[in-house]
Every structure is written in structure tokens, then in C-alpha cells.
Amino acid sequence: MNNEPDFLQNVRNQIGDGRQWLDRVIVIAYAVLAGLSIVGFTLLAVAAFDLYQRLREAAWWAPQVWTPALTAFIVWSVLRWVPGAAGSGVPKVLAALVPETPLSNRSRFVSL
């Protein structure tokens, strides 16, 4: 009575199972897509920094003007069009989950 696992049979099962290969291909494809998105964001960051450097060389005062202006525009846009996106999400979810919060008011804290 040999209780040892059959190594060759286990290898055959691993290689021959099409479902496992499909799962592996899907995981590898998503890993490649994740890597490509990282490369894309890195290239965008390098381009943005180069643009910033050129703008700063052309007019040293420009970043001191457009940074607060852009920040104010972003805050105004969020409060104007997507007020539910402002602030941190965790306290809002916790407030929405409190049983005392009426169902009609929960959409003020958390919505799709």
C-alpha cells in the first residue's frame, strides 16, 4: 500500500486540464495589461513634468498662478457636478450605515 502521490499523473492532470490553462492565460493577460497601464502612466507623468519644466523656464511665476487657479477650478467642479465625491469616502460610508440614518438621507452620503 503505497500512499505516495503519483507525480506523473499529477503532471498530466495539470498540463491536460484546459480550464486551468484558460485561468492562467486570463491572469497573465491582466498582468500584462496592468504593466502596460503602469508604463502609460509613467510616460504621462514624464510628459507632464517636462511641460511643467518648460512652463517654469518660460515664466517662473506661472506655476504660482495656475496651481491655485486649477485647484479652485477642480474643487468648484466637484462641488458643482458631483457633490457626493467630495471628501473622504470612509466616514461617509460609516454615516450611511448607521441604522438611525433615514433611507432617504443615505444617498447624500453614498451613491452610485
Question: Does residue 39 or residue 106 have the better pLDDT?
Answer: 39
Q: How confident is the model at residue 98 (pLDDT cuts 50, 70, 90)?
A: confident
Give the global pTM: 0.54
User: pLDDT tens digits, residue range 17-54?
Assistant: 778 888 889 999 999 999 999 999 999 999 999 999 99
Instruction: Summarize the confidence of residues 96-112 as an average pLDDT.
Output: 81
Distance CA 31, CA 7 (A): 30
